[in-house]
Homo-oligomer: A and B are copies of this chain.
Amino acid sequence: MERGVSRWHLFPAWSFLVDFRKGAVMSYSYLPVENTRHFCQDIFIKSGFSESESCDIVDVLLKADLYGIESHGIQRLIRYFLAMQEGSILPQAEVSVVHQTPISEVWDAPKTMGQVVAKKAMETAIEKAKKFGVGTVCVRNSNHYGIAGYYTSMAAAEDLLGVSMTNTEAIAIPTNGRKAMLGTSPIAVCMPADPVNFWYDASTTVVTRGKLEVYRKQEKPLEAGWAADENGQGCADADHVLNNIIGKLGGGIFPLGGETELLGSHKGYGFGMIVEIFTSIFAGGTTSPHVVNSGNGDTSFSFWAIDYGIFGNKAEIKDRLTTLLQEMRESPKALGKDRIYTHGEKEAEMEAKLLESGIPVNEKTLEEIKQIGAHYGLAFDAYFE
């Protein structure tokens, strides 16, 4: 990220400076959500996607920004743009159904936009779940699909439990290893509850690459248990680890549970393997050790929708979860802590806040999306008048 102050002048009230250690300064602007949505949608329409597909793609990206997950938000526009320029993502790419049963489908989706295919796949899983109680769709050879939890929310919106997983480029080393063999491979589960759904979405690694990048930017040593050097041993040097990851020189991120079995490294490694089984192994896609680049057409997804009415009265089941979540939140706090969150609360609160304030966009992303707009003849400023 470049130093300096954004050239963004339209909304000075929404601009602020994030002061990093060592004096690095990064400027963020808060963009109103609906204006940003229209601008980004028009970019995808101009790229060749249908209006409806463009709406879907941008909705997934903006949901990440609204949930405070900047790494999966519109800052990814540049990657998608470049992938389309290179031809690794094609708006006209078609999906073929390679296997089908009443409750399941497997799709081959080369050169597709991950979000477009993923949304259709979860819609198909939902239809099947409504008919048969459970529906599942696996997808292979697609591209990065954004936040896994977007799709589980779709199931919850239909009063179903949703599960979503994706494999990714290998960045995590197995317990006792020194070569990245598994992706950050998130697992997302969403189950309806009041007033906020249980919404879990997290990598099966101890952290994601984005966390290492933030520490590098801040010139902070990495936390013990986060990352390994090329010998597979704990390493606090963010720059060293990231350079190794980029150059595929060995090492990487530890699984959830850290470096050794003492804190459960084998459990995170196991969850990573479970994601691999449900995605690439079932779909017949590329397994994480062989995924060259997540934006390069070799990513697999898994979607499940479960009509939890197969276990009894839905209102009663949902009420039981609502009660448990409330008990969790109200249970006694650790010394110095004033709140216990249930999964999804932080995201719901962030969304409510950012719908008011606009989403934070860093100066680099801002410049990139302006240039992408200009490439298609779209005047960024005109969308924010």
> Could you list which residues of chain A lie within 8 angstroms of chain B, going by C-beta atoms?
98-99, 101-104, 106, 132-134, 136, 138, 161, 173-179, 181, 189, 191, 198, 200, 202, 206-207, 223, 225-226, 228, 231-233, 250, 256-258, 262-264, 266-271, 273-274, 276-277, 280-284, 287, 289, 308, 310-312, 316-317, 320-321, 323-324, 327-328, 331-335, 337, 339-343
Contact = CB atoms under 8 A, between A and B. Distances in A.
A200 B274 contact: yes
11 contacts: A104-B133, A176-B337, A177-B328, A178-B332, A178-B333, A179-B331, A233-B335, A258-B263, A269-B343, A270-B343, A281-B317
A302 to B, nearest CB: 9
Contacts of A308: 282
B328 A106 contact: no
B206 A99 contact: no
A321 B198 contact: no
Nearest to A262: B223
Given A175-B340, A223-B263, A310-B104, A334 B99 contact: no
A222 to B, nearest CB: 11
A283 B324 CA distance: 14
Contacts of A328: 174, 177, 181, 273
Contacts of A226: 263
A232 B281 contact: no
A250 B335 CA distance: 12
Contacts of A228: 334
Given A104-B310, A134-B136, A273-B343, 9 more contacts: A102-B133, A104-B133, A104-B311, A161-B277, A173-B334, A174-B328, A175-B340, A178-B333, A232-B333
